[in-house]
Amino acid sequence: MPDKDIYKTAQRAAESIIPSSARTSTIPITLASSTSSRSNLSDLTSAQRTFLKSSGFNFAAGDFILLTDEKGDIARVVCGIDGPSSFSLTDNGADASSCFFAGTLASRLPQGDYNFASDMPNAALVAQAWTLGSYNYDRYKSDSAPVKRRLKPGKSVDIDRVRDITTSVFLGRDLINTPANDLGPDELEATARSLAKAHAAKISVITGDDLLKKNFPMIHAVGRASNRPPRLIDMQWGKKSNPAITLVGKGIVFDTGGLNIKPGSSMTLMKKDMGGAATALATAAMIMSAELPVRLRVLLPVAENSISSNAYRPGDVLESRNGMTVEIGNTDAEGRLVLADALALADEDKPDALFCFATLTGAARVALGPDLPPLYTSTDALADQILAAANAVHDPLWRMPFWAPYDQTLHSAVADVSHISNGPFAGSVTAALFLKRFVNNTDNFAHIDLYGWVPVAKPGCPKGGDPQGARAIFEWARQNYK
């Protein structure tokens, strides 16, 4: 069964891949291309070069071959770097995506301790790809015996930063991968408290009917049908005099669809519907670990969208925190309701930057697929900065518009607004426009409509949960608040 302290589990996993203590004996990995292999492989023995040539190895990016010594032990790994976006040993502007070949190595090499034979541009990103590719979720396997492939990075790599980012991503992945019977509102709150304690952050939680007393009516409405009470988690860290960054993450621990119940095939992955909260916590963990000079706030509206006699209904009109009345068109569009109350609270504080993470719409997947989350912001400068940061660390995002003409599709005849559009088109855009109505005081607002799941394993991204956008927003924060 999974460890109850998910944050500490993530820390231990990261430490096992890239330990603090030095190791004297490691297997070197040599990067080589078909055009520069002679110079790159000059430190191979004559027998190893002969074997490499006779093997027909073609130096394709990510492919590798094991070379042995006289005893038959693995003495070296040669990894190819040729490909459409080949990694460069000399170009400081090497494409970040090509660095992620190391994520494939980390999941395929035999057990052992490794190092890259020579330092290189983007060495930190190569090391990061290795650690992220080493992730393995085996909490429920009784016969689990994970292969340990440890990495000793080059001297130019900030090992602590790589390890902290690894811990944070693993935290997000573990949260998303944990099934809803072991990750309800209580457990998500416990994880937030563990993270807050580790970084001396303040945390407060409003639970159950107290949400009505404190004016969070839509969070309460979405979660009231569950026997696991809804709540709003509020974590704060950093000096009050620092620039304010607020992260809001959708924390629907399981989504049945409510009275508009989902078909079984659409409910299978709904443990990941708290992926926005997981991403917000992963981003927060990176920011606090790096001790960035910011005033950080994390708001997590947490609920289980269940079915019971007191479930909210299609056609209901709900009050919201900012006073706007909302007509319910479909109870399976619950995420934007809990986010609206949390965003309204965040906006009252007028932060310098406000980020919203949510597994919000299937329409985003239709538009951009599972790997490329839409980024919404009306601030061009902020969009450019975030996209540049996302590309730099290979955590891709794609800008989508707050297209104002579509705002009319949220018209309601009986309330201030309908929470879903009156047509089948542009579902991700209209959901983003709904959220934007609850942010009136904050200029730098960005919303990421993420999938939170990797359906097919890729270098650095094993199949399963993934806090998409977390590394991108942290890199943006790191570049702006060093």
Please list the active-site residues. Answer: 262, 336
Task: HSE, CB side, 13 Å, CA atoms: give it for residue 456.
Answer: 3
The SS3 of residue 113 is strand
Positive or negative torsion for Cα 81, 86, 88, 93: negative
State the CB neighbour count (10 A cutoff) for residue 99.
28
Contact between 310 and 226 under an 8 Å Cβ cutoff? The reply is no
Label residue 415 left, alpha or beta by phi (over 0 means left) and psi (-120 to 50 means alpha).
beta
Largest CA distance in the chain: 82
State the CB neighbour count (10 A cutoff) for residue 213.
10
Query: How far is Cα 72 from Cα 94, in angstroms, rounded to an integer?
Result: 35
For β-strands 325-327 and 417-418, DSSP reports them as parallel
Of the candidates 376, 470, 382, 469, the residue with the CA atom closest to the CA atom of residue 429 = 376
Contact between 150 and 18 under an 8 Å Cβ cutoff? The reply is yes
First to last CA, the chain: 40
Contact between 460 and 100 under an 8 Å Cβ cutoff? The reply is yes
Classify residue 112 by burial, with Cβ atoms within 10 Å: 0-12, 13-18, 19+: middle
Of the candidates 42, 149, 30, 130, the residue with the CA atom closest to the CA atom of residue 80 = 30
Q: Which residues lie closer than 8 Å to 416 by C-beta, 6 or more apart?
A: 324, 325, 326
H or E element that contains 217: helix 217-223
Alpha carbon of 24 to those of 43, 114, 264: distances in Å? Answer: 19, 11, 53
Of the candidates 434, 403, 404, the residue with the CA atom closest to the CA atom of residue 420 = 434
Question: In the structure encoding, which two tokens stand for residue 98, read together?
Answer: 């090509």
The SS3 of residue 68 is strand
Q: Helices (DSSP H) in 18-142: which residue ranges?
A: 37-40, 46-55, 101-108, 123-133
Query: How far is Cα 169 from Cα 338, in angstroms, rounded to an integer?
Result: 24
